[in-house]
């Protein structure tokens, strides 16, 4: 099979304005988060500069009242677009709580995933559950399934679990969108040393699932392709691989030194157009936007950043007792004893 | 319940099981009955794994389940253990109660990643928002002369992972009730089936499950406690019989829960006999026997008459069938262990 067909029609002006302001907000927050790390406000962060269109655009194609998002650790833009509170999101990077402080059930966004490829099978299992629910409710009705969208990097597609997930998804025809941001690098290893077979999208054929490759710097293209992928999955036609071609403009994380594996000149040349510039130029040229509007969007982003920074700075450590509380739904006696000993020995009575 | 994320822990499904009274079953029949009744009682329970459907499992443990509950509730997956457990995570997130099977203990290794980094941690990571009510069933331990990696003893590995609970039944009665219990709880449980005992018959009392938490005294005794689990319980009962011929009154304690360990129940037995030997199939070094011995030391040090002894497998890969009887603790080795404890003199 089969490359997924999608329409390259422009988005409505109002929608593009909305997405452009989300992109501007994440750009601003993402840039600030790096500064916060330098200032000692957070211990570390994984920048996503250059991936704003891919992330915001992918989420724009979802219905967050019923779909479910499975992010990695580089999905600030997706989390913001999905409505996750950015202070609670940053709690992972602040080292407040692994996975973040947001409620995964209420937000329909799984916790920040550290294990490369770890979530792909979860998205398949969750999607299979939706399919079982639908068939149990009415086996004859046309399918209109909630969809799981899982973010992966190009490096993640080397993992066995991702192969297993694509194979399972194909076999069970689950409503799963494998949204791969091919940002050119997996830490220091370039895509050509990571992905055999030319592209990630090419893999879809091996699993009999639809696939498409899009320009991840062009938000309209991302939205339209992902909408087509979601519609395909929703209708019960099975999973889709979307490979969004982006570029990781900064370091892999705030502790990475990209100078050891690529030059600044390469970064400038290989990045392609900045996704924010693409969207803004389009709005301006269509007359949907004035330079005053650009300034408004920017100041809204600055206001958000200030609020999030205050939130993050205000976050103290969680009470130590929580470390014991959340291991199990039903805490074993042995752990209760350890918690009691901890309380006594560390004066937390 | 379409479009559900994980339902908040709504558990202990109404027992729809119509079974009453007592009946004699082999252990694999008892587990089959438990799976059947769990599926009947809980519409969100699903069984998945390799060959669990039409075939009914290579040990026939899932026999007839797909025919009765349909291929949506009991389904074959592609041959991928990480896939089975990772898919179970997503099903649990969608509000299901997966009961995955890994076909043989040694093939859980490819899925350890999902077990340790995902299943065991998801409740913690999400601060309780996405519980993992998953019961992982697995034919475990040796004793049936099977090929390589079909006879592992991995309780040490699972028991060390925070977020997992681990249980192993030793009789058909326990097999039925512990599985029903595990499958109705909101936390992930690794359920280790002693495959050499699948064909052992015993009475299952459906009306009186007995205490399902903690240890079980399999045989009362005064002079010494043998601590064991899984297939080793039967062997220890045999050793106790042999010791009785020499006038020794040996207690056999079935640990059952390998995580969390019922330290109070353990201590109660040793407080009575003041001597203990731990018996397990896994290699000795860093095995669960060391943990049990230490728990006994912490709670019974003053009253112990001798250090706790261990009779275990050796620090070698589980050998092939022809050497299995050398590796797995046999009655003679257990009797030697008993003797070492009895003959201990303070230096
Ligand atoms: C299983 C696993 N192995 C190694 C790592 C360490 N690690 C973190 S990110 C990363 C590279 C991931 O590359 P890719 O999937 O392309 O995503 P990107 O970071 O480029 O967005 C590695 C090796 C990890 N987190 N998980």
Shortest CA gap B73–chain A (Å): 9
Residues A130-177 have pLDDT tens digits of 999 999 999 999 999 999 999 999 999 999 999 999 999 999 999 999
Residue B186 lies in a domain: yes
How far is residue A50's CA from residue A77's CA, in Å, rounded to a whole number?
10
Residue B17 lies in a domain: no
Cβ of A164 within 8 Å of Cβ of B185? The answer is: no
Same domain for B258 and B134, yes or no, is no
Query: What is the pLDDT at residue B6?
Result: 40
Q: A187 alpha carbon to ligand 1 midpoint, in Å?
A: 7
Residues A233-276 have pLDDT tens digits of 999 999 999 999 999 999 999 999 999 999 999 998 999 999 99
How far is residue B235's CA from residue B334's CA, in Å, rounded to a whole number?
9
Cβ of A122 within 8 Å of Cβ of B86? The answer is: yes
Same domain for B200 and B62, yes or no, is yes
Return the sign of the alpha-carbon dihedral for residues B177, B181, B183, B184.
positive
* A328, two tokens: 């199990």
User: CATH number for the domain including B126?
Assistant: 3.40.50.970
DSSP B67-112: HHH-TTTEEE--S-HHHHHHHHHHHHHTT-EEEEB-SSGGGGGGGH
How far is residue A202's CA from residue A110's CA, in Å, rounded to a whole number?
27
Question: What count of CB pairs under 8 Å joins A to B?
Answer: 163
Q: What ranges make up the beta strands (E) of chain A?
A: 68-70, 148-153, 176-182, 185-186, 189-190, 210-215, 240-245
- Taking residues A317-340, report their average pLDDT: 94
pTM value is: 0.92
Q: In chain B, how many domains are there?
A: 2
Q: A119 alpha carbon to ligand 1 midpoint, in Å?
A: 13
Residues B136-193 have pLDDT tens digits of 999 999 999 989 999 999 999 999 999 999 999 999 999 999 999 999 999 999 999 9
* B238, two tokens: 């045999």
Q: What residue spans of B94-227 are helical by DSSP H? A: 112-113, 122-125, 155-159, 172-183
Same domain for B239 and B115, yes or no, is no
Q: Which is nearest to B337 in space by CA: B284, B287, B285, B278?
A: B278
Same domain for B39 and B142, yes or no, is yes
What is residue A239's three-state secondary structure?
Answer: coil
pLDDT band at B16 (very low <50, low <70, confident <90, very high): very low
**Using CA positions, which residue lies closest to atom 11 of ligand 1?**
A186
- Provide the CA A17 distance to its chain's centre, in angstroms: 21
Residues lining ligand 1, Cβ inside 6 A:
A 74, 114-116, 153-156, 183, 185-187, 248, 252
What is residue B193's three-state secondary structure?
Answer: strand
Same domain for B187 and B65, yes or no, is yes
CB atoms inside a 10 Å sphere around CB A254: 18
pLDDT at A118 over 70: yes
pLDDT at B42 over 50: yes
Query: What is the pLDDT at residue A348?
Result: 60
Return the sign of the alpha-carbon dihedral for residues A84, A85, A88, A90.
positive
Main-chain phi, psi angles of B139, to 5 degrees: -65, 125
Residues A267-302 have pLDDT tens digits of 989 999 999 999 999 999 999 999 999 999 999 999
| Angle at alpha carbon of residue A275, lines to A269 and A277, rounded to 5° | 90
- Taking residues A200-206, report their average pLDDT: 93
pLDDT band at B8 (very low <50, low <70, confident <90, very high): very low
Same domain for B246 and B198, yes or no, is no
Q: B159 alpha carbon to ligand 1 midpoint, in Å?
A: 28
Closest chain A residue to the Cα of B185, Cα to Cα: A330
Q: A112 alpha carbon to ligand 1 midpoint, in Å?
A: 13
Range of the domain at B233: 216-343
State which of B174, B205, B236 marks the end of a domain.
Answer: B205
pLDDT at A1 over 70: no
In sequence order, the β-bridge partners of residue B242 are: none
Residues B200-248 have pLDDT tens digits of 999 999 999 999 999 999 999 999 999 999 999 999 999 999 999 999 9
Q: Which of B2, B8, B128 sits opposite A137 (nearest CB)?
A: B2
User: CATH number for the domain including B226?
Assistant: 3.40.50.920
Q: Which of B150, B177, B181, B223 is catalytic?
A: B150
How far is residue A298's CA from residue A304's CA, in Å, rounded to a whole number?
10
Closest chain B residue to the Cα of A128, Cα to Cα: B91
Q: Is B160 among the residues known to form the active site? A: no
Query: What is the pLDDT at residue A166?
Result: 98
Q: Does A40 touch chain B (CB under 8 A)?
A: no
Q: Which of A55, A116, A250 maximizes ligand 1 atoms within 8 Å of its Cβ, making it the mutation to test the pocket?
A: A116
Query: What is the pLDDT at residue A347?
Result: 73
């Amino acid at each position: 099979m089969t490359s997924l067909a999608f329409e390259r029609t422009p988005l409505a002006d109002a929608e593009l304005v909305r997405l452009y302001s989300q992109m501007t907000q994440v750009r601003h927050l993402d840039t600030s988060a790096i500064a916060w790390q330098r200032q000692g406000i957070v211990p570390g962060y994984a920048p996503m500069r250059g991936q704003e269109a891919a992330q915001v655009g992918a989420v724009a194609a979802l219905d967050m009242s019923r779909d479910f998002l499975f992010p990695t650790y580089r999905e600030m833009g997706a989390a913001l677009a999905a409505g996750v509170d950015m202070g609670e999101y940053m709690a992972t990077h602040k080292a407040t709580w692994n996975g973040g402080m947001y409620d995964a059930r209420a937000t329909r966004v799984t916790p920040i995933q550290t294990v490369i490829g770890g979530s792909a099978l979860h998205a398949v299992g969750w999607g299979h559950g939706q399919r079982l629910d639908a068939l149990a409710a009415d086996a004859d009705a046309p399918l209109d399934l909630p969809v799981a969208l899982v973010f992966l990097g190009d490096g993640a597609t080397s993992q066995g679990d991702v192969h297993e997930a694509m194979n399972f998804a194909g076999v069970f025809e689950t409503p799963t969108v494998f949204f791969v941001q091919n940002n050119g690098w997996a830490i220091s290893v370039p895509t050509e040393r990571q992905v055999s077979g030319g592209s990630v999208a090419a893999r879809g054929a091996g699993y009999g699932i639809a696939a498409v490759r899009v320009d991840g710097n062009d938000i309209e293209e991302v939205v339209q392709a992902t909408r087509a992928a979601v519609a395909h999955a929703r209708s019960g036609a099975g999973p889709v691989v979307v490979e969004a071609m982006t570029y990781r403009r900064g370091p892999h994380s705030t502790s990475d030194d990209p100078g050891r594996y690529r030059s600044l000149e390469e970064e400038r040349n290989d990045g392609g157009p900045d996704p924010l510039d693409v969207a803004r130029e389009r709005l301006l040229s269509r007359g949907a936007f004035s330079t005053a509007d650009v300034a408004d969007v920017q100041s809204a982003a600055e206001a958000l950043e200030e609020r999030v920074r205050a939130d993050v700075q205000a976050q103290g450590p969680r009470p130590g007792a929580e470390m014991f509380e959340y291991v199990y739904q039903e805490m074993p006696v042995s752990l209760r004893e350890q918690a009691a000993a901890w309380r006594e020995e560390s004066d937390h009575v | 319940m379409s479009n559900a994320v994980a339902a908040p822990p709504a558990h202990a499904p109404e027992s729809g099981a119509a079974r009453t009274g007592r009946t004699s079953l082999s252990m694999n029949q008892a587990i089959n009955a438990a799976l059947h009744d769990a599926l009947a009682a809980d519409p969100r329970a699903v069984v998945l794994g390799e060959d669990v459907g039409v075939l009914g499992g290579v040990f026939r443990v899932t026999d007839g389940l797909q025919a009765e509950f349909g291929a949506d509730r009991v389904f074959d997956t592609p041959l991928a253990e990480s896939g089975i457990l990772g898919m179970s995570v997503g099903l649990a997130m969608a509000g299901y109660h997966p009961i995955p099977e890994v076909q043989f203990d040694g093939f859980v290794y490819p899925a350890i990643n999902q077990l340790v980094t995902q299943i065991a941690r998801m409740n913690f990571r999400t601060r309780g928002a996405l519980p993992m009510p998953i019961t992982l069933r697995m034919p475990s331990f040796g004793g049936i002369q099977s090929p390589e990696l079909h006879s592992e003893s991995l309780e040490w590995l699972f028991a060390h992972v925070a977020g997992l609970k681990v249980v192993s039944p030793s009789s058909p009665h326990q097999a039925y009730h512990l599985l029903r219990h595990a499958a109705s709880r909101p936390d992930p449980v690794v359920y280790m089936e002693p495959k050499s005992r699948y064909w052992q018959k015993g009475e299952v009392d459906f009306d009186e499950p007995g205490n399902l938490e903690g240890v079980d005294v399999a045989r009362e005794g005064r002079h010494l406690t043998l601590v064991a689990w899984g297939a080793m319980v039967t062997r220890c009962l045999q050793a106790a019989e042999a010791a009785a011929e020499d006038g020794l009154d040996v207690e056999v304690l079935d640990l059952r829960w390998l995580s969390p360990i019922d330290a109070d129940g353990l201590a109660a037995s040793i407080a009575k006999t003041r001597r203990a030997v731990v018996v397990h199939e896994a290699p000795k070094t860093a095995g669960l026997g060391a943990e049990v011995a230490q728990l006994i030391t912490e709670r019974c040090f003053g009253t112990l008459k001798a250090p706790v002894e261990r009779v275990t497998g050796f620090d070698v890969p589980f050998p092939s069938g022809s050497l299995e009887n050398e590796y797995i603790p046999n009655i003679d080795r257990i009797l030697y262990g008993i003797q070492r404890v009895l003959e201990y003199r303070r230096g």
